[in-house]
């Protein structure tokens, strides 16, 4: 596992064997200013990947996502899909956080790419990524 980024709001690493970026969001992001390296960290991560790569996203420690952050994440996900990402499994427990992420799932081109699982379904999420 290659560590790419670690701060108070997220950690990001890459598993070469699985061709998967592990992304853990934490806490409350009041806006994008709290994560100034967000895009550059994703750029670093993408450089490690091979065609058909995936993301295992753990948002179980994440609080509700404000609109500015949500829009930035949607724009970034579009960019990631253009860069070769084929699936995103997201772990999320809070009903409020799930609702704030639902907009992403309903974006054009995201249906079937992003699937949400509870933290009691981590093995199911990893299996789905391998399908």
Alpha carbons 104 and 79: distance in angstroms, whole number = 13
Which residues neighbour 106 within 8 Å (Cβ) at sequence distance 6 or greater? none
pLDDT tens figures, 82-97: 899 999 998 887 665 6
How many residues are recorded in the chain?
131
Task: Report the domain count for the chain.
Answer: 1
CA angle 123, 128, 131 (to 5 degrees): 130
Range of the domain at 12: 2-130
pTM for the complete prediction? 0.86
CATH code at position 124: 3.30.750.24
pLDDT tens figures, 40-50: 999 999 999 99
Across 9-33, average pLDDT? 94
Tell me if 88 sits within 8 A of 62, measured CB to CB: no
């Amino acid at each position: 596992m290659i560590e790419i980024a670690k701060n108070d709001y997220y950690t990001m690493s890459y598993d070469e064997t699985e061709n998967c970026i592990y992304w853990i969001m934490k806490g409350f992001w009041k806006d994008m200013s709290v994560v100034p390296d967000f895009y550059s960290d994703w750029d670093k991560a993408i450089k490690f990947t091979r065609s058909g790569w995936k993301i295992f996203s753990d948002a179980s420690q994440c609080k509700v996502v404000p609109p500015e952050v949500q829009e930035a994440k949607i724009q970034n996900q579009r960019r990631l899909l253009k860069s070769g990402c084929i699936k995103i499994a997201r772990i999320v427990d809070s009903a409020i956080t799930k609702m704030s992420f639902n907009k992403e799932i309903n974006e054009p081109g995201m249906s079937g790419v992003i699937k949400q699982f509870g933290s009691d379904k981590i093995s199911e999420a990893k299996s789905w990524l391998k399908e």
